[in-house]
Structures are given as structure tokens and as C-alpha cells.
Amino acid sequence: MRTIEERLQEHKQTSERMQAPSELEDRLRNALDRVPNKKKKNEVVLWFGLTAAALVLIVGTYQYPALTYYGNELFNMGLNASSFSEAATEGYGQEVNKSTTLDDGTLITVDRVIADDNSFSMYYTIKAPEGEIIRRDSSRFGVDHIEGFMTNSSPEEGSNDYSEDETVLHGIQRFESVSPLSRTLTVTFYEFQKNGERETYPISFKFDTSKAMKSLVKEKISKSVAVDQGEIYYESITASLTSTVIKGHIKMNEEWAQERQPWFFGTTLLYVNGIEMNFDFMESQYDAATGLSEFELGFDALPTDEIRSLELILKNSSGYHNQQETISLVSPSDQSIKMGSEKLWIRSVSKTDTGYDIVMATKQFTILENDNIFVQAGGTEVPVSSISSERPWDLNNGNILWERTYSFNTTDQPESLILGGYHYIKTYNKIVPIPFD
């Protein structure tokens, strides 16, 4: 198997032989501008048809890297990439070096951009005027969206650092992916003035799509793991220059459909060659049309060594214990009571002006079902009337439990506690191998 470095070198050599036609964007824009106004239901079909026609027209005339990119996307032919830091060191991505100077002499420079299947990343610097520094706690400057042909990408995440003398801020900003058909991109920086108003500073630069880095791995996973409330489906993996993204969805069992998703999604780990990758982010949203909760999991970029194995491990997720438990209240104490795989502590039972209070403790993420909590008192099942906020109970041995006060409106002393189901964090440790070429 070829290493990633070998594949990158091959991609770089191919890119250097390609030359982008200057009129490409204009021809595509003109083709789209000629679209007549139609009813909404036909807009998507018509737009796609004309765009595809324009692409076919140009493919017959040019050998252009943006079309190579689109062809890869349309026919699922991902290429490869290296890690973010190594790509910059080795000169991957596109050098920009476009600047703007503010009235006070501050210099903002776009140094380099790196485009890949997952995102668009920009290196930039902000240099203080001569003799001044940039305060580390300053929120004076920021980065807004980036625009171009068929592109209006919002910022997703960023980080920065300072030179030792604090005269230069070095930043990295990640955006949503940009269109590979853009020839010119404009990124907008902003500055908060002393009066609170925001001043914007656009910087435009040519975008060389031939230097866009494609995927190291772009594969369907199409595997699922059953959890107590449904199934977690892992659909695909896209490992690009800047990150590795796992996409999937959650399908709840019919009796839990109204919940939309488990109360605790859980922890999914990514292993490459048996080594755990750093977790970056998790995003999810509910799709009302499909009734599914779609998610994305982000991890660090894959290492540049030869990849021998890829696998996901669902370490934990929501668990549900639905067996009814009856617990005697004759002699409450701080001793634990086993319920399924979890434990419960009955700390006290005390009479109040309105009835009885029971103080119970559990692990922090063991959640009793409030609608299924009763006491047996005077031959009657009495439901809980109110529940306090949780508060810590320090065991003074390095462990902290969380207790709540459950109130019951009854004049009879409770004899037993009746509990329905409870939610908790359940360990699954299910392995999902990821196929790749």
C-alpha cells in the first residue's frame, strides 16, 4: 500500500501540470444567469440540469482541476491528504500573502489557505503597528464569512497564538467548504471600534483549485450498533487534510420515537492502526422529514503513515433499565441498594408538614423516571409530588454522588419505595470496522 506522502506527491505533480482557464467562472455564471424564472418545485431540477450542462460543455473543452474536483465528488473518487501542520510545512495548500493595512498601521495578512472535502482553512496574521503590541486578552479583531462564486461559507472554529514579543497574532480559521468553481474568494475581517461599532475589512485573493487537497479516505461505513433506545448508524467517513469526519444518524425504537434522540448520545472513539485519535467536535440536528437525528463526529486528521486499520468503538451511550423495583423503607441508611447494573442510596425518610420526604442518591448521570416513582403507604400507592434539584454528596473517598429530595403527600408512613425505569450511561464497547482501499 502506498503511503500518504507518496500519494500527496503524485497529486502535487498532477496539479502542477494543470492550468485553469480564466473565463471558466464567467461562462458558468452566464449559464446560470440565463435560467428563466420558474415555479419553485422546478428550480432545483432546472438549476442542476443547467449546471450539469455547463460542466459537460466545459469538460469537452478544458482539462481544469475544479472539474476534476467536481468529478471526484459526483463519482465518489476521493484523493488523499496529509495532516494540517505537515501540509503547511511541506507547502501544500495555496500561498496567498494578501494584506490590508488599517488606518493605525495594523497589518492583516491572509498567508495561506487549504481547501479539502471537509472544510476550508485559512492561515492569517495580524501585525501590530510599529512600537505597539497586541494584547492577549483582546477581542478587538475577528474573522467573518468568506464569499465567492457559489460560495458563502460561515466560520466554524478557529485558534490563534502570539509571537514572543506579542507584536504578531498568528491565527487559523476554519470555514464551511467553498465551491471548487470559485476563482476569487473574499474573506472579511472585522474590528470593534472604541465606540462599540464594528468595522469590516475585506481581503480578496485568487483561489487556485488545483491546490485543493482531496480525501485520504472517503468511504461508506453503513454499519449500526444497537443501543437500549434505538440504533446508532455510522454512514460514512471522510478523512481530509484538516480533519476526519464521521457522519451518521440515530433511529429511535418505536416506543421512544417521541424522544427524537437518546438523552445521552455517548462516546464514539476512532482508532487508526490501533491508536486513538483526538476527538474534536460533535454536531447533531433532528430532521423532521425523516424522523432521524443526523450527526457528525469530528476527529484530528489521520496520521501520514501507512494506514493498516480503521475502526470505531462505541464506548458508551444511553442505557435504560425498565424493570420495576420495590425497596423497603423500614430502615433507611447510607448503604447502597443494587438496581440492575446501577446502585441507589436511601439516605433518609422524614416526616414533614405535608407528608414525607425521601432523600435518595445516585451517580450523577443515573436519572430516575419521575413519572414512575411511588411509595406504598397505608395500602395505597402515592406518586411523588415534587423533586428537588440535585446536590453533591461527598463520600470523602474521592467519589461524589448526587442526591435529591423526593416529596410525597401522605399522612401514612411509607413502607416501601416503588421505582420504574431509570436512564444511565451504559458501557457498550462495540467495535465497528471501517473498510478502506
**CATH number of the domain at 92-211, out of 2.60.120.560, 1.20.1430.10, 2.60.40.1640, 3.40.50.720?**
2.60.40.1640
- More confident: 11 or 349: 349
**Cα 87 from Cα 110, distance rounded (Å):** 17
pTM: 0.64
* pLDDT tens for each residue of 368-385: 998 999 999 999 999 999
How is domain 325-420 classified at the CATH fold level? Elongation Factor Tu (Ef-tu); domain 3 (2.40.30)
- pLDDT higher than 90, residue 147: yes
DSSP 183: S
Query: What is the length of the chain?
Result: 437
Query: What kind of fold does domain 217-321+427-433 have according to CATH?
Result: Immunoglobulin-like (2.60.40)
Tell whether the model's pLDDT for residue 41 goes beyond 60: no
Nearest to residue 240, comparing CAs of 78, 421, 77? 78
Contacts of 165 (CB under 8 A, 6+ apart): 133
Separation of alpha carbons 220 and 246, rounded Å = 10
pLDDT digits (tens, 9 = 90+) for 239-297: 877 789 999 999 988 888 777 777 788 899 999 999 999 998 888 888 888 888 899 99
Q: Is 425:316 a contact under the CB 8 Å cutoff?
A: yes
